[in-house]
Structure 1
Amino acid sequence: MSAIDDIVDQLDSLTTADPPSSASVEKNTTAPTQPVGAPADDDAAATVGAAIKKKKKKGGRKKGKTLPTGFETNFTEAPLTPDEFSKDKELYDLNKGVAERIEVAVQRYKAKRKFNDIRHRLLEAYLFLGGINTGAKMFGGVDNKFVKDHDAEDIARYKATDYVPDKMHRIRLQEQDDELDGDDEDEEYAIDFNYIVRAFLTDRIPFAFGLKKPEDIEMSVNLIRNFLNFILYHNVCPEFTDNIKLAIKTCELAGDELPICAVLSDKLPGSFNKACSTLFGGYWSLIIPQPWAPGEEKENSNLEPGLTREEAQKIYESLVHELPHVDATVPLDKVTEIAKEWAALEVTGTWLPEPGSPLKLGKIICKPWTQEDTKPIVSRWDNVEGGVSLWCEKTVAQYAYVGMHLCCAVHELTNGLVYFDEISGVMCSQYLEIIDEKDLDVNSDYDFD
Structure 2
Amino acid sequence: MASHSPIPSTSTNVDLLVALHPEATEIIQSFEFLFDDDFIRGDRHLLALTGGDGSGSVSISEMLCSFSKLRKFKQINLVKEALTMSLYLEVVDDTHVKRRYPLTKPPFVKPELDKKKREIAEVLEKSPWLTKGMLKTTGFEINAPVNPPSAEEYKRENEHYNLEESFLVRIETAINRFAARGKKHQKTHAIFESFLSFGGISCGPRQFANNHDAKQLAREGFDKEEIAQMTHHYTIAEIVKDGIVDDLITGPTWVVDFEAIAKAFLSSHFTASFDWCNEAEVMLAANILRRFYIYLILFDVCPEFKAQLTAAMKACDEAERELKDLAITDRKLPGHFNEACSKLFGDQITVNEGVKSKDWSALEDVNVLSLKPEEPLLIFKAAMYAYGSDEQLDQLESSELISTLATLTFQGTVGLEVVEIQDVSENAAKIYNDEQFLGTVVQPLAKVKCIFWDNPSADPNDLPEDVVKAYQSKNYEFLVEEEILQYCYVGTKMDVTVKELENGLMWLSSVETVYPTFFTWLPNERIYDWKEPGPPKEWMKRASERKREKFNGESVEICDDDEEGYGDASNSGPD
Q: Indicate whether the TM-score tops 0.5.
A: yes
Aligned partner of 1:339 among 402, 410, 421 = 410
The match for 1:380 is: 470
Query: Is the CA contact 2:495–2:513 (under 8 Å) kept in the aligned structure 1?
Result: yes
Could you tell me how far apart the structure 1 residues matched to 2:204 and 2:364 are?
47
User: What amino acid maps onto 1:393 in structure 2?
Assistant: E
Structure 2 CA distance for partners of 1:435 and 1:320, relative to 1, 3 Å: farther
Shift of 1:145: 4.8
The answer as to 2:503 corresponding to 1:415 is yes
Deviations 1:206-260 (A, max 9, x none): 3332321222221221121111111111211111111111111111122211111
Identify the range of structure 1 (72-81 vs 341-350) with the bigger mean alpha-carbon deviation: 72-81
> Helix, strand or coil: the match of 1:169?
helix
Runs of 4+ in 1 over 6 A off after TM superposition: 62-65, 283-286, 372-377
Say whether the 8 Å CA contact 2:205–2:232 is kept in structure 1. Answer: yes
1:80/1:287 Cα in 2 relative to 1: closer, same or farther (>3 Å)?
farther
Distance 1:286 1:426, change over 3 A: farther
Q: 1:287 to 1:228 in 2, by over 3 A?
A: farther
Report the TM-score when normalising by structure 1.
0.71
Match of 1:254 in 2: 319
Q: What is aligned with 1:70?
A: 140
Structure 1 residue runs without a partner (length 5+)? 10-58, 174-179, 290-303, 443-449
Aligned CA RMSD, in angstroms, stands at 3.5
The amino acid across from 1:243 in the alignment is Q
Q: Which of the numbers 453, 465, 471 marks the counterpart of 1:369?
A: 453
Change (3 A) 1:97 1:404: same
Aligned partners of 1:197 and 1:247 also within 8 Å: yes
- Are positions 1:152 and 2:221 aligned together? no
Residue of structure 1 equivalent to 2:191: 122
Write the mapping of 1:24-103 to structure 2, written as runs, cut at 5 A: 67-82=137-152, 84-103=153-172
Q: Tell me if structure 1 keeps the 8 A contact 2:418–2:489.
A: yes
CA offsets 1:113-159 (integer angstroms, 9 cap, x no match):
33111111111100000000112321223255522211122222222
> Which shifted more, 265-274 or 214-223?
214-223
Q: 1:194 aligns with which of 256, 259, 272?
A: 259
In the TM superposition, residue 371 of structure 1 has moved relative to its aligned partner by 4.5
| Aligned match of 1:110 | 179
- The residue identity in structure 1 corresponding to 2:308 is N
Q: Deviations over 1:273-303 (max 9, x none)?
A: 11111221359988538xxxxxxxxxxxxxx
Distance in 1 (alpha carbons) for counterparts of 2:420 and 2:175: 42
TM-score under structure 2 length normalisation: 0.57
| Counterpart-to-counterpart distance in 1, 2:424 and 2:294 | 43
Aligned to 2:366: 288
- Checking the alignment, whether the CA contact within 8 Å between 1:129 and 1:441 is kept in structure 2 is no
Aligned residues between the structures:
364
**In structure 2, what is the Cα distance between the partners aligned to 1:111 and 1:378?**
51
Q: Which residue of 2 aligns with 1:319?
A: 383
Find the residue that maps to 1:340 and give its secondary structure.
strand
Distance in 1 between residues matched to 2:381 and 2:486, nearest whole Å: 23
Say if 1:203 and 1:432, in contact at 8 Å, map to a contact too: yes
Tell me the CA shift for residue 163 of structure 1: 0.9
Q: Which residue of structure 1 aligns with residue 274 of structure 2?
A: 209
Q: Which amino acid aligns with 1:366?
A: C
Distance 1:76 1:172 in 2: 32
Separation of aligned partners in 1, 2:181 and 2:372: 58
Distance 1:121 1:64 in 2: 15
- Whether 1:278 aligns to 2:278 is no
Could you give the per-residue CA deviations for residues 46-102 of structure 1, whole angstroms, max 9, x where no partner exists?
xxxxxxxxxxxxx9xx999754433342411352333x3333343111222222222
Aligned match for 2:236, one of 143, 164, 170: 164
1:199, 1:370 → 2: CA distance? 16
Q: Which of 134, 138, 146 does residue 203 from structure 2 map onto?
A: 134
Q: Tell me which amino acid in the other structure corresponds to 1:403.
A: G
SS of match in other structure, 2:305? helix
* Contact 1:276 1:316 (8 Å CA) reproduced: yes
Within the candidate set 482, 485, 489, 1:394 is matched to: 482
- Name the aligned partner's letter for residue 338 of structure 1: T
What is the deviation of 1:413?
A: 0.7
Distance 1:324 1:207, change over 3 A: farther
Return the structure number with greater relative CO, CA threshold 8 A, min gap 6: 1
> Structure 2 counterpart of 1:103, which letter?
E
Aligned partner of residue 91 in structure 1, secondary structure: coil
CA contact (8 A) 1:271 1:393 kept: yes
Gapped regions of structure 2 (runs ≥ 5): 1-38, 46-116, 118-131, 350-362, 433-443, 531-575
SS at match of 1:437: helix
State the distance in 1 between where 2:44 and 2:329 align.
54
